[in-house]
Every structure is written in C-alpha cells, then in structure tokens.
Amino acid sequence: MRIFLFFVCLFVFNNLFAQCLKIKIFSDINVKSFVFATVMGKYNIFCDTTLIATLNKNEAIKIIQNGDSIDLISLNKKFGTFKNINLTGISDINYAKVKCVIPSLVQRFYDDDFIISVLNQSFFIINDVDIEKYVAGVVESEGGQKSGIEYYTTQAIICRTYALENLTRHISEGFYLCDDVHCQTYKGKNLNNFDITVATNNTSGLVIVDSTLNLITAAFHSNCGGQTVGSEDVWLNTKSYLKPVTDTFCLNQRNSTWEKTIPLEKWKQYLQMNGFLVNNYSNDTNIFAFSQPYRKTYYKIFSDSISLKKIRLDFNLKSAWFSISIENNNLLLKGRGYGHAVGLCQEGAMQMAKLNYSYIDIIKFYYKNTYIVNINTLNFFNAP
C-alpha cells in the first residue's frame, strides 16, 4: 500500500524541490589570494556581518589571506581586514568568476553565494549553491564533454542522489561536500555544455531509491572491465542493489584494459613484507604468475595470500582485476577496467545511451531493484 501511495504521489508533487548545498571549493588547494568578479547579477559584500558594498556586473575585488584574517581590496581602495567575508547574490541569477592568484590557476566560474574565511593559513571557501546548478557542474566534471543527453540525464540523477545521500559527510567541518574526488568532482559552473543543462533541468529533483524508499549509495566508476562487483567486496557493507552485473557494453572502450610492469625483485620484497614465505619457494619464477579469468578476491601462493584490493591500492593499479605473467625479470600485469567496479560503469552506460537505451534502463541495469522518484515525494513519505 505504501509503495502504491508513493507512486500516486509522484504525480502530485512537481517542481517543489529547491535546496542549497554548502560545497567546500578549492578543497585540495592551498589558496592564498584570488580575484572575485561578478559575471551576471550583483553581489552584496558582507564583512564580519556588516554590508560594506555592492559588487555590480563586471566589477572585481581582490581577496588576500593575511595571517588568520582577510584583506579585501577593490581597484581603487582597501576596504579593510576582516575575519569573514560573505558574497551574497541579490539578482535573480548571480554567478561569478574566481581567479586564483596564489597559486596561479585557470579561472573558474561559480553560481550563487560564497562564504569565505581562513583556516590553517589557507582560505576556506564555501560555495552555497543551488543543488541543480551544483549537479550540472558535477556532471560536466564527471561525465566528459561529448557523452550525449541520455547519458548526462543518467549521470545527473546519480550525482543528485549521491549528493543528497552524503549531506552529512563533512558536516562536522562546517560544509556538506568537498569538490574533490573524495565526494564528487566539482570544478564550478557548467558553462559550455547545453546538453548537460537540459539533462539536469529535465530531471530536477529525481533521485534513485531502493525498495525500502531509502536513497541508494549511487556508486559509479569509469569501466568495470566486463563485470561489476558487489559493494561488500570493496567496502564490506552489503547493499541489495550493488550486486555483480555482467557488462558487455564497456568492452573495447578507452579504459577496458591496462598493462603495468613491476620488477620481480620488488614484487618478492612486497610479498615478503606482507607475510609470504618467499625464501621457501622454488626457483621457478612462474610460481608468481597469476590467472584471473573471472574476478577473484585474493592473490595466493600455496597457503600465503593477500587481497587484490590491497595490491591495487599499494601499486596504484587501475583495477583489482588483473593477471600476471613473468617476462625476463619482470611481472607483466594485464588488467581489465578502471576503478572500484561498484555500481554504475560509466563507459558501459555511455555505450548503452548510444544504443538508445533510456536513462531508466541504464540505471536499472546497474542498480538492481531500484526506483527513480522525486525527492519531494520521498520527503513527504519519510516525514514523521
């Protein structure tokens, strides 16, 4: 009955969804100074909660770290030194250009508002941004430039679901999500790809839920190599919708296969460090060869073993699905796929979209027994 009512409500709620996210930007960069310029709209400048000026279109300010404070300078005057600066958009549409001066970086564009302070001798910059604009920015960063509208639609729903499921990830640090791969890559506003704007707007508020109406962990990766893996194999927690899927769509794509060479001596030392009784083995180097026609969990020699997941991390390999042959004094690793292989395979999904599968087909192929719903419906049903 609950599921029935739930789907009835899908048609009742429409476009109610509006939420801002606090995203820490430049989270992997030690920013010391930057220029902020209004591209569209106007910004009120609040310094330590006092309104000191309004920044009109095409006007700029320079923001410089000074110890644990901030110097604020315009073209013709210094406003002063402050602890906090808030830049709040006051027009219908507001977006700005941010050009890091120290270190010197390519300029980026961001929608909506900014909250700026200094933490540990570096700027702490929050972009307080409408979720749909954030999603479009993430899709541009994560989804490539020419992937087609059906794929962007799929990626928009996934990125929105991921963001909403992870809102508390950095909450103790004063923001929701960082802009790095740790959360989702977000390098600012989607400016140039109209397909992404359409895909995001058309799916506004749509998210993926499991059969208990909870947001799913919308994991994705570049290429699974032909088979995705269950979440329990990578993160230990079992999710009913993150199960192994045989995927032929991603074969023969850019990240389908890889190779790497490792010196045999280095490999022996590594195994020894991890408890393998290497000195007891025979002199036949083929003992280190390894076959993985289907995904396995461990690399084993006699009763010694190590997880493939750990080898992947320690050697920075593209995936944990690889075989080993011995060539001269080296190991030749031949691998399949790129990434943790849990959830949606991006290159497979791109191929499905090219073959005219819908975003619903694609999402249901990689996330089993899930539904695509509007977040407003979900909030209504989950309210006490």
Structure tokens at 293: 């026609």
Rounded to the nearest whole angstrom, what is the least distance from the CB of residue 250 to Zn ion in the complex?
A: 3
| Residue with Cβ nearer Zn ion (57 or 182) | 182
Distance CA 348, CA 157 (A): 16
List Cβ neighbours of 125 (8 Å cut-off, separation of 6 or more).
Answer: 24, 25, 26, 31, 114, 115, 116
**214 secondary structure, DSSP code:** P
| Residue with Cβ nearer Zn ion (30 or 58) | 30
Which backbone phi and psi does 295 adopt, to 5 degrees? -65, 130
Rounded to the nearest whole angstrom, what is the least distance from the CB of residue 117 to Zn ion in the complex?
A: 18
Structure tokens at 131: 């979720």
The residues that touch Zn ion, with contacts defined as CB under 5 A, are: 178, 182-183, 224, 247, 250, 345, 348
Rounded to the nearest whole angstrom, what is the least distance from the CB of residue 99 to Zn ion in the complex?
A: 24
Amino acid identity at 226: G
Rounded to the nearest whole angstrom, what is the least distance from the CB of residue 307 to Zn ion in the complex?
A: 22
Q: Where are the alpha helices (DSSP H) in the chain?
A: 2-10, 131-143, 149-165, 194-202, 231-235, 264-273, 308-314, 346-354, 359-366, 375-382
| Residue with Cβ nearer Zn ion (88 or 292) | 292
Rounded to the nearest whole angstrom, what is the least distance from the CB of residue 342 to Zn ion in the complex?
A: 11
Q: Is 65 within 8 Å of 34 (Cβ atoms)? A: no
| Residue with Cβ nearer Zn ion (125 or 373) | 125
Rounded to the nearest whole angstrom, what is the least distance from the CB of residue 291 to Zn ion in the complex?
A: 21
| Residue with Cβ nearer Zn ion (28 or 232) | 28
- Can you tell me whether residue 206 is helix, strand or coil? strand
Q: Which region, left, alpha or beta, applies to residue 368 given φ > 0 means left and ψ of -120 to 50 means alpha?
A: beta
Rounded to the nearest whole angstrom, what is the least distance from the CB of residue 164 to Zn ion in the complex?
A: 15
